[in-house]
Amino acid sequence: MPNLSVKLGRVNLKSPVIIASGTFSEELLDFLNAKDLGAITTKTITLKPYSGNPPKRTCETPCGLLNSIGLENPGLEVFLKKNLPYFLKLKVPLIVSISSLKKPQELVVLTRELDKIKDIFAIELNISCPNLRKRYLISQDSKATYQVVKKVRYATQKPLIVKLSPNVTDITLIAKAAIKAGAEIISLINTLMGMCVDIENRRPRLSNLTGGLSGPAIKPVALRMVWEVYRCLKVPVIGMGGIIEAQDAIEFLLCGASAIGIGTANFINPKVSSEILAGIKEYLVKNKINDINNLIGGLKDET
């Protein structure tokens, strides 16, 4: 049986399959074995409770889903009291995703509180959510990214993951800034900004006008960005964006991802994570690869 454990920065995961932020629910456990997962990422939390954007907040598109949920969450205090105990019972490495609605200093406060909890595996710094009414994202500016990541890095000893936006000209410049500031792992990609239009009412279908596009439609963009960052920086990357079957996951691994995040596919097929892991095993056996780590970054780049 091939080895499926992967090294993500300074830690090891049992498998490369991670449930992406905002897509885990208790019902998934009726269809898959949580112990097969490499990690689970929580829905992004903020310092204070936030109700998110008003409806309508989702819209199906060809080969994708557009959402403008807007970081709806109960806030840090409720998360620690009600949500965290449940996650810890699962005995699966837990990545807590955090963001700020107003001042970036909120990220430091959040990080310091989470750093106190031994059983939290890592912190994911979400500076790339496109569903907020902001003129720009932190992750669209290399200097802003560096400043925020550096402040958060000082606030924790845990592995620090930074989730970046695809809505930029050169993803490597932003990734370099994050790594230089102390990030250990880069998460690629967050959703692409898009719109849906109701031609009968001549209005946007989303209340927030724009939203984040996820699903199979964005996979080519995600693959390209994972490959660019891996080739340029050789840093651990969690690849995500449109992964719905084992072939997709293998493509991300070949492009340099050390682990892969399963997101929108969980809403379509609750068994998808187990099926993808089984498909990866089958591929490794078929190709006589004894260790999944020998697959990572194995893309034959002819340039």
Q: Which of 139, 142, 119, 120 is nearest to 129 (CA)?
A: 139
Question: Residue 133 belongs to a domain with what CATH number?
Answer: 3.20.20.70
Kind and range of the H or E run holding 137: none
The answer to the question of residue 96 being in a domain is yes
To 10 degrees, the CA torsion angle through 125, 128, 131, 137? 120
- What pLDDT sits at residue 303? 56
The answer to the question of residue 202 being in a domain is no
The answer to the question of residue 16 being in a domain is yes
> Which of the following is catalytic: 59, 63, 129, 255?
129
- What pLDDT sits at residue 171? 98
Q: Specify whether 63 is catalytic.
A: no
| Full-model pTM | 0.96
The answer to the question of residue 273 being in a domain is yes
Q: Please, what is the average pLDDT of the chain?
A: 94
Q: Are the C-beta atoms of residues 65 and 57 closer than 8 Å to each other? A: no
- What pLDDT sits at residue 192? 96
Range with lowest mean pLDDT among 124-133, 158-167, 181-190, 270-279: 124-133
Mark 199-229 as b/e (b = at least 16 C-beta within 10 Å). Answer: eeeeebbbebebbbbbbbbbbebbbebbbbb
What distance in Å separates the CA atoms of residue 283 and residue 201, rounded to the nearest whole number?
A: 49
The total number of structural domains in the chain stands at 1
What distance in Å separates the CA atoms of residue 106 and residue 101, rounded to the nearest whole number?
A: 8
Confidence of residue 26 (pLDDT cuts 50, 70, 90): confident
Residue 145: strand, helix, or coil: helix
pLDDT digits (tens, 9 = 90+) for 219-261: 999 999 999 999 999 999 999 999 999 999 999 999 999 999 9
The answer to the question of residue 285 being in a domain is yes
Confidence of residue 110 (pLDDT cuts 50, 70, 90): very high
Average pLDDT over residues 68-72: 92
What distance in Å separates the CA atoms of residue 211 and residue 248, rounded to the nearest whole number?
A: 24
**86 has a pLDDT exceeding 90:** yes
Neighbours of 267 (CB within 10 A): 14
What distance in Å separates the CA atoms of residue 206 and residue 58, rounded to the nearest whole number?
A: 7
CB neighbour list of residue 104: distance below 8 Å, 6 or more residues apart: 138, 147, 148, 151
The answer to the question of residue 89 being in a domain is yes
- Host domain of residue 224: 6-53+69-195+212-294
Helical residues (DSSP H) of 130-218, grouped into ranges = 142-153, 171-180
pLDDT digits (tens, 9 = 90+) for 283-301: 999 999 999 999 999 999 7
The answer to the question of residue 205 being in a domain is no
The answer to the question of residue 184 being in a domain is yes
Q: What is the DSSP letter of 3?
A: B
Percent of the chain beyond pLDDT 70? 98
Range with lowest mean pLDDT among 27-31, 65-69, 139-143, 189-193: 27-31
Query: Cα 289 from chain centroid?
Result: 27
Average pLDDT over residues 47-63: 93
**302 has a pLDDT exceeding 80:** no
- What pLDDT sits at residue 139? 94
What distance in Å separates the CA atoms of residue 68 and residue 150, rounded to the nearest whole number?
A: 28
Please report, for residues 74, 123, 128, the alpha-carbon distance to residue 132 in angstroms, rounded to integers and kept in the order given.
17, 21, 10
Q: Which of 74, 162, 161, 163 is nearest to 120 (CA)?
A: 161
**102 has a pLDDT exceeding 90:** no
Average pLDDT over residues 116-138: 86
